Structure 1
């Protein structure tokens, strides 16, 4: 942490030892993204975006109805993974079925996995959007009992409330070809 004199006790910004480089921009061999300090609003927003998206999918896998806790009242979405009959019709609070209805009747998934890191963009100081691919897993109903994998591309938009909670405003989920 910088002091009044400009000295620091943070080893990532300490002067380089003779014969070594001191790349403060990151990307070097000493850079460790997981341990970067969240010392800016932007960094905190990016970290929060990853965290809330993960929490949303955990809730959707455990109990889809529990995911409502992470959604704004006016949340809109297209999500054939939960909509009746795999519908791709937009849903909101005033549609039939509504987002709440779809989640209340949703079947939980066995698990999920992000394909790489979701890309995040700040929309505003208190809003972010993410895009990524995800695999969802469900126990197959066939006699062999294996896991069935569904790959989807997802776009989500979140806004932060005055109380610092992040709420999902919009989500678009579409089936994707698994080309990995």
Structure 2
């Protein structure tokens, strides 16, 4: 079929694709979250939610105090893995989230059990639920694993940053 303005209806592209050679050119907007096209706000929000949740846990494991960078000023949470209790925390509680994170001991690492489930709350807000394992090297030489369930809510600022609004972490029953 003849080309009009470079477009054809041929099933096969006339030249190899710049991506993988077996399909049409894909926009660079498909970088975040793998090889999936992120061509809608919803897809970008879902990918961003998983990415920012991973960054939060990486910060919590490396240096808990650094995790404040991802939290809104009015963030509330229950996180016995860092606080030592299941009491709700916020900026005005005793201890506050900031105090708990400042004195928190880092973990060796973490692993999500599958992909976190994401729901869009609004155009600029998302929530996730998932199961996570945290690992800590013991002084006796072994690695201790703690399994927990978690839920996080995030909102996006006008500057496109995602901030944690609420998080609830609970110990999970071992299977």
Q: Same fold (TM over 0.5)?
A: yes
Distance 2:56 2:74 in 1: 16
Give the Å deviation of 1:35: 1.4
Task: List runs of 5+ in structure 1 lacking aligned partners.
Answer: 14-32
Map 1:8-87 → 2, pairs under 5 A:
11=23, 34-83=34-83, 86-87=84-85
Q: Which residue of 1 is the match for residue 134 of structure 2? A: 136
> How many residues of Structure 1 are paired with residues of Structure 2 in the alignment?
154
Calculate the TM-score normalised by the size of structure 2. Answer: 0.82
- CA RMSD of the aligned region, Å? 2.2
Calculate the TM-score normalised by the size of structure 1. Answer: 0.80
Q: Structure 1 runs of 4+ off > 2 angstroms?
A: 5-13
Quick one: which of 87, 111, 114 aligns to 1:113? 111
Quick one: which of 131, 151, 156 aligns to 1:155? 151
Task: List runs of 5+ in structure 2 lacking aligned partners.
Answer: 18-22, 26-32
Q: Which residue of 2 is the match for residue 164 of structure 1? A: 160
Give the Å deviation of 1:67: 0.2
Distance 2:101 2:60 in 1: 8
Give the Å deviation of 1:178: 2.7
Deviations along 1:152-175, whole A, 9 cap, x unmatched?
000000000000000000000000
Q: Structure 1 40/138 Cα, relative in aligned 2: closer, same or farther at 3 Å?
A: same
Distance 1:70 1:138 in 2: 23
Q: Structure 1 58/6 Cα, relative in aligned 2: closer, same or farther at 3 Å?
A: farther
Q: Structure 1 116/7 Cα, relative in aligned 2: closer, same or farther at 3 Å?
A: same
